[in-house]
Amino acid sequence: MEHLKKKLNQLLEKKIELDNYLGKQLPKAILQEAIQGKLVPQIAKEGTAKNLLEQIRAEKQKLVKEGKLKKSALNDSVIFKGDDNKYYEQIGKKCLDITDEIPFVIPETWQWVRIRDVFQLNPKNEAEDETLAAFIPMEKVSAGYKSDFTFDLVKWGNIKKGFTHFANGDVAFAKITPCFQNRKSAIFHDLPNGIGAGTTELKVLRPYGNTIGRWYLLYFLESPYFIDEATFKGTANQQRIVVGYLESKLFPLPPKEEQQRIVAQIEKLFEQLR
């Protein structure tokens, strides 16, 4: 009987270990498959990411015209596959071979782009000092594969300087260790008067109009490709991702409807893991 109890305890310990392992590794595997275009099939009638890039460019031109964006934001690079099966990046008149930079194969209907070309990074808010806004220190942003946060209600004038700005619909992630690896990130919503500010250890991304889904972006920022390949600078206790890592990171862009199907599939699989 004692022998059976011992065997049962060993099996229970192994099951707990396996559950812990799967709980940590499966979400990573799901997100990696997702951003490589392997989670859902491609559907021809949904168009291509090239169509989406045209929409992003039109949105940027509109913002430049309205004086809300610098003209330099229109100087996008163009990444394409040559007849020799190599990848090239056209930047103005320069054309560089970036084959060695391409991390994995993506579907034909997708497009490789640089983060800086398809998102506004660290945008600023304009508001009256007496306007009520959200204040979010790092401890109010949850870790893990979700988008939970809380905030304090403060006057904009008290936080407009010395903190990172964000607004409803912006996506943010922690740039400092270990918060970065713990996937502290969020899609901001329901902020008082639509605006907020918080810890300077956040990086903020704002999609152009209704082009790139917030949840697809958030899951990309939580993927092993984005997290595990980051390089850091600073002291042992306080390391931050190096300047330029986010801006120049290659982003696998699917057509809009496919983004939505990817997110729905991720959520379905994550639900099964709970």
**122 conformational bin, left if phi > 0, alpha if psi -120 to 50, beta if neither:** left
Q: How many helices (H) and strands (E) does the chain have?
A: 8, 15
pLDDT bracket for residue 273 (50, 70, 90) = confident
Map out the domains of the chain as residue ranges.
Answer: 120-250
- What is the tens place of the pLDDT at every residue in 17-34? 555 655 678 999 999 999
Helix (H) or strand (E) holding 50: helix 49-65
Global confidence as pTM: 0.90
Q: How confident is the model at residue 266, as a pLDDT?
A: 97
Cis peptide before 107 (omega within 30 of 0): no
Coil, helix or strand at residue 210: coil
Q: How confident is the model at residue 237, as a pLDDT?
A: 77
Q: What angle do CA 33, 38, 44 make, to 5 degrees?
A: 145
> Given a cut of 90, is residue 205 above it in pLDDT?
yes
Contacts of 104 (CB under 8 A, 6+ apart): 36, 225
Residue 257 tokens read as 């409807």
Q: How confident is the model at residue 241, as a pLDDT?
A: 96
> Given a cut of 70, is residue 101 above it in pLDDT?
yes
Q: Residue 249 CA to chain centroid, in angstroms?
A: 11
Q: How confident is the model at residue 274, as a pLDDT?
A: 77
Judge contact between 135 and 159, C-beta under 8 A: yes
Q: Residue range 82-102: average pLDDT?
A: 95
Cβ atoms within 10 Å, residue 149: 20
Q: How confident is the model at residue 178, as a pLDDT?
A: 94
What are the Cα distances from residue 243, in Å, to 10, 176, 203, 221, 234? 48, 12, 11, 16, 12
Q: How confident is the model at residue 238, as a pLDDT?
A: 84
Q: What is the distance between the terminal CA atoms of the chain, rounded to a whole angstrom?
A: 34
Q: How confident is the model at residue 235, as a pLDDT?
A: 81
- What is the tens place of the pLDDT at every residue in 252-266? 999 999 999 999 999
Contacts of 229 (CB under 8 A, 6+ apart): 103
Computed over every residue of the chain, the mean pLDDT equals: 92
* 256-273 and 214-221 helices, crossing angle to 10°: 60
Instruction: Report which DSSP code applies to 105.
Output: -
Q: How confident is the model at residue 146, as a pLDDT?
A: 86
Q: Residue range 146-171: average pLDDT?
A: 96
Q: Residue 98 CA to chain centroid, in angstroms?
A: 22
**255 conformational bin, left if phi > 0, alpha if psi -120 to 50, beta if neither:** beta
Quote the CATH superfamily of domain 120-250.
DNA methylase specificity domains (3.90.220.20)
